[in-house]
Structure 1
Amino acid sequence: MVNSLPVLPQNDSKCSKTLVVGAGSWGTALAILLARNRVPTLLWARDSAQVAAMVRTRQNDHYLPQVSFPPSLEPVADLEAALPQTEQVLVVVPSHGFRSVLERLAGHLPDGVPLSWATKGLEPGTGRLLHEVAAEVLGPGWPMAVVSGPTFAHEVAAGLPTAVTVAATESAVATRLASCLHGETFRVYTSDDLIGVQLGGAVKNVLAIAAGIGDGLGFGANTRAALITRGLAELMRFALAYGAQRETLMGLSGLGDLVLTCTDNQSRNRRLGLALAQGKRLDEALALIGQAVEGAAAAKVVVAKAKQLNVEMPIAEQIYQVLYAGRAPRQAVEALCSREQKPEYV
């Protein structure tokens, strides 16, 4: 078991009891991180049987086996009963469940308790950024923040060095959450660019599918480098049209996260691309992965929004064609390579 990492003294008096909503691999890893920092932490899972198992074994056998829970981490099954005890809430659920979770929190979340999330995606169907969803459900003035950056849950849980960005509507909210997460092997930067940090985390998932397809077809390192670089150009055009800051897109939650998900098979989105390149149908590939793959839903939203904004995103468009229009992965690559020649910076 991974249980030899140091448990730090509580690193800031503002790090009061935190409720992590969602006990998948990423939610569990963040709960473990907080608890190692001596932040009193509640971890809620929808499945009461899963909660009972975590209470009994002091680990999440399904999503993060072999990683022991620190003493200050308490799994809970009753979400409504947990909310009055907490002073900040961190939501870590797939984007398709984000609104329903917030609707469940509404009415039980004490006024002014900051809401943060580590979900990387856009709302399916509407295409809204998640802070827009939160403002609709909780009210436009609610203090909120997002955690994003190049992270794999197993590496965070193992205590491997990691850096992320926390962006918030108020600097005090960002600083408070950052101080709770920050530790010996987990470095946290703060930002006020809520839009850029969210879009970096959402769009990179679509581009990672493309990288997986390229590698699955055996196209090599040249292709992968080209996809990452031109993918970054697409991400920047798209996010800047939304009003994001250029520096954010060149940082941890932009370029950093893009490189991570395009190059390592811990990425579900990359694995989806690999499976599609091997001839799997979308439903077969998703079933094989067995967890939420945010890029599949994001491709629909990103392509639709790009058209509305008149932003050119040829890689994202080809991924959409592969996922939902029956285009063969090799044909998608050929379509990208045969595009009209143009200057690089246009």
Structure 2
Amino acid sequence: MKKNQIKKVTILGAGAWGTALAHLFSSVAEKVFLWAYEQSVLDEINQQHSNHKYLAGYQLEKNIIATSDLQEACDNTQILIEAIPMVHLASVMKKIDKKHFLDIPFVVTSKGVHSKNLLLPTELLQTFGLSLNQLVVVVGPTFAKEIMKGDVSGFCIASQSVDNAQYIGNLLDRKHISVTYSDDIIGAQIGGVLKNIIALGVGMLMGQGAGENLRALALVKGFQELYLYGLYKGSKQETLVGVAGLGDMLLTSLSRTSKNCKAGFMVGEGHRELVKKTFTALPEGCNTVKLYFENDLFFQTNMPFCSAVYRVFWLEEDPNILVTVLQA
């Protein structure tokens, strides 16, 4: 795909991941509009071509244009990409006129569930008038900083539309980026949702000083529960054991660069109060585990490790219950 073959791409969300995606698409689009709600972030992107708050140390291309005006961001765009925390996705979508996303590919990167109905991102977006064929889920074990550095990474692109999946995949394809395709939209999202809970739990164990043996045991148990729940929801086995499931879980759970693992580490160390002080918003796994435990009987009765994460984080029980679960 030649640069500037696409006139305009829009990315909703100027956090680390939205900024990294803007960087990738800036090489294949004439203009990339990046919607940001923080004026200081917006000004820095437009004036200094950087985003120190969320992705410090990297220079952005000059064809990345930040705006706080959703109308300006979405008007006449050819591809719409959301990179918004799940807790805010619905409120942002309510402000966008449907005319802006009719008949264009809509890329989904949020990881989480919405409200007690436990709607996955694609399920929530369909309530705003988007068709399933428009939606393209892009997931995988990828940290924004490594994307910016050009490190080898892998994406899973899942869609009911082969054409839309291939279209987005071709735009993301690089020598250092491996792209795999799937029609398993549910499986691609389930992995991204549950891996945050598992990472939160593994972080709690790390904060307690758990050795590598115990961490490995937690990863095995966590993945067994992710796999079981994925099959329960109709996911394909190959999706769950690929980059969208196992791959994403391993990356998020083994690195304290991960917000969820870092938050868990603080709780395990006995510094629970630091979580709210450190993060502008709670990491996705914190809210997700609460929604699942309180609204999904299958989760409560068949996922003891993930349920223990809920009890430690929200009921403030002793993190040692995680070890008890793993020894059972």
- Global fold match (TM > 0.5): yes
Aligned: 1:277 with 2:274: no
> Partner letter of residue 17 of structure 1?
K
1:70-149 equivalences in 2 (<5 Å): 70-140=61-131, 143-149=134-140
5+ residue gaps, structure 2? none
> Partner letter of residue 205 of structure 1?
N
**Which is further off, 188-197 or 40-49?**
40-49
Q: CA RMSD in A?
A: 2.0
5+ residue gaps, structure 1? 1-7, 340-346
Q: Distance in 2 between matches of 1:154 and 1:141?
A: 31
Aligned: 1:323 with 2:316: no
1:308–1:255 Cα change, 3 Å = closer
Instruction: Report Cα offsets for 1:192-247 as digits up to 9, x if no partner.
Output: 11000000000000000111111111121101111111111100110111101010
Corresponding residue of 2:3: 10
Post-superposition offset of 1:292: 4.2
Kept in 2, the 8 Å contact 1:129–1:198? The answer is: yes
Q: TM-score, normalised by structure 1?
A: 0.89
User: What is the aligned-residue identity percentage?
Assistant: 28
Q: Secondary structure at the match of 2:11?
A: strand
> Partner letter of residue 297 of structure 2?
K
Corresponding residue of 2:175: 184
Q: Distance in 1 between matches of 2:133 and 2:75?
A: 17
Corresponding residue of 1:156: 147
Q: Distance in 2 between matches of 1:309 and 1:120?
A: 18
Corresponding residue of 1:333: 323
Aligned: 1:262 with 2:217: no
Q: TM-score, normalised by structure 2?
A: 0.94
Of the candidates 199, 208, 222, which is equivalent to residue 231 of structure 1?
222
Kept in 1, the 8 Å contact 2:201–2:261? The answer is: yes
Kept in 2, the 8 Å contact 1:234–1:313? The answer is: yes
Of the candidates 179, 195, 199, which is equivalent to residue 190 of structure 2?
199
Instruction: Report Cα offsets for 1:97-136 as digits up to 9, x if no partner.
Output: 0111122224341421221121111114331111110111
Aligned length in residues: 328
1:148–1:285 Cα change, 3 Å = same
Aligned: 1:217 with 2:208: yes
Q: Distance in 1 between matches of 2:7 and 2:175?
A: 19
Q: Distance in 2 between matches of 1:149 and 1:24?
A: 17
